[in-house]
């Protein structure tokens, strides 16, 4: 009875989710990123409202004495040896390292990939909500009286970008320059850093996990693309995304299961292909049931009798069963001669 209960529990246990495949992941990620990019363009908002939001943030930072972007911006403006690499980092690293970490998880840490991917997508969509609800003018677009210099414009001759953020020259209209709150540069860098620290095995990889978010925070403030509070909001968005990743995956699993059941009900032939790949489908042969091609004891005895009947008319002695157990011959020698 106990074994039957264990077998019944095993049969009702949920099947493990299959490992994600690259041909399904790429379209999904492309769809989310496309929706995010299109949403940024739609959520431009009023310029005057965005400027008001930026000035309020700056005033709050000055009141709290946390306007760290002022001294950092002066440092990058005065020293091209620091400002130019910072501009290159701002314009490229989040496009390179974020997908690289995602691919690394997919290939080497596939057990953690699905949750990390869900965490990233959820946080990105939360950031899009922030851009829509609070368009914010970055420090570099404020009036010069506020003391900021656009280092991207100052060093634009050294890179591919123009005077409109990090977009390539002539493509500034394809980006939303007022999507500063929250800073997803910082949020994505924090996502990369946590995963590198948690799943990296080499000390250099874990050190990079610590350095990358700090360097990104320095860069976004020094280039006057974000306020310090933008960076704080980017970290908060990633924290919220981490908390919501589990519920989002559960909802996704339920939707997928219901869609699978609906498809199975409407297209039973398609559903049959999703059955267990085991030939017996978990069934066992009962006692006395013979698998086709298998010889049983009754079949062997029938064959032996037929062989004896065939030998009798020809005058030959019946053939001994070569599969008789050891010691059978000795027992036959002890029988009376008449019986032999």
Q: Kindly indicate the confidence band of residue 100, based on its pLDDT and cuts at 50, 70 and 90.
A: very high
Helix (H) or strand (E) holding 130: helix 110-133
Q: Is residue 61 within 8 Å of 148, Cβ to Cβ? A: no
Token couple for 79: 């020293």
Q: If you write DSSP's letter for every residue of 33-60 in order, what string do you get?
A: HHHHHHHHHHTT--HHHHHHHHHHHHHH
Exposure pattern of 158-180 as b/e (b: 16+ CB <10 Å)? Answer: ebebbebbbbeeeeeeebbbbbb
Which of 203, 215, 77, 204 is closest to 139 using CA atoms?
A: 77
> Which residue shows structure tokens 């704080």?
232
The number of beta carbons lying within 10 Å of the beta carbon of residue 77 is 19
pLDDT digits (tens, 9 = 90+) for 146-183: 999 999 999 988 988 866 666 666 665 567 788 889 99
Ordered DSSP codes for 314-329? TTPPPPP-TTPPTTHH
Helices H / strands E in the chain, number of each = 13, 0
pTM surpassing 0.85? no
Q: pLDDT at position 4, please? A: 46
Q: Distances from the Cα of 111 to the Cαs of 105, 160, 296, in angstroms?
A: 8, 38, 48
Could you give the CA distance from residue 225 to residue 71 in angstroms, rounded to a whole number?
A: 14
* Model confidence at 190: pLDDT above 50: yes
| More confidently predicted of 38 and 128 | 128
Higher pLDDT, 47 or 7: 47
User: Mapping DSSP to helix (H, G, I), strand (E, B) and coil, where does residue 265 land?
Assistant: helix
């Amino acid at each position: 009875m106990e074994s039957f209960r264990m077998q019944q529990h095993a049969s009702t246990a949920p099947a493990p989710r299959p490992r994600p495949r690259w041909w399904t992941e790429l379209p999904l990620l492309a769809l989310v990123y496309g929706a995010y990019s299109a949403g940024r363009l739609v959520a431009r908002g009023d310029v005057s409202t965005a400027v008001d939001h930026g000035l309020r943030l700056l005033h709050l930072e000055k009141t709290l004495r946390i306007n760290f972007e002022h001294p950092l911006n002066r440092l990058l403006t005065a020293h091209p040896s620091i400002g130019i690499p910072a501009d290159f980092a701002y314009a490229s690293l989040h496009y390179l390292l974020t997908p690289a970490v995602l691919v690394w998880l997919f290939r080497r840490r596939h057990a953690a990939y699905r949750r990390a991917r869900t965490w990233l997508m959820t946080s990105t969509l939360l950031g899009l909500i922030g851009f829509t609800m609070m368009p914010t003018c970055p420090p570099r677009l404020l009036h010069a009286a506020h003391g900021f210099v656009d280092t991207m414009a100052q060093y634009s001759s050294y890179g591919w970008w123009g005077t409109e953020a990090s977009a390539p020259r002539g493509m500034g209209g394809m980006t939303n320059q007022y999507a500063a709150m929250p800073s997803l540069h910082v949020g994505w860098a924090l996502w990369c850093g946590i995963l590198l620290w948690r799943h990296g095995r080499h000390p250099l990889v874990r050190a990079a996990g610590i350095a990358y978010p700090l360097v990104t925070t320095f860069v976004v403030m020094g280039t006057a693309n974000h306020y310090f509070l933008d960076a704080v909001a980017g970290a908060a968005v990633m924290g919220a995304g981490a908390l919501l990743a589990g519920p989002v995956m559960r909802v996704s699993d339920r939707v997928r299961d219901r869609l699978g059941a609906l498809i199975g009900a409407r297209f039973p032939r398609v559903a049959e292909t999703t059955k267990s790949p085991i030939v017996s489908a978990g069934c066992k042969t009962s006692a006395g049931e013979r698998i086709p091609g298998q010889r049983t004891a009754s079949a062997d005895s029938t064959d032996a009798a037929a062989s004896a009947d065939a030998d009798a008319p020809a005058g030959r002695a019946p053939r001994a069963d070569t599969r008789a157990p050891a010691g059978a011959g000795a027992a036959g020698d002890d029988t009376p001669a008449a019986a032999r």
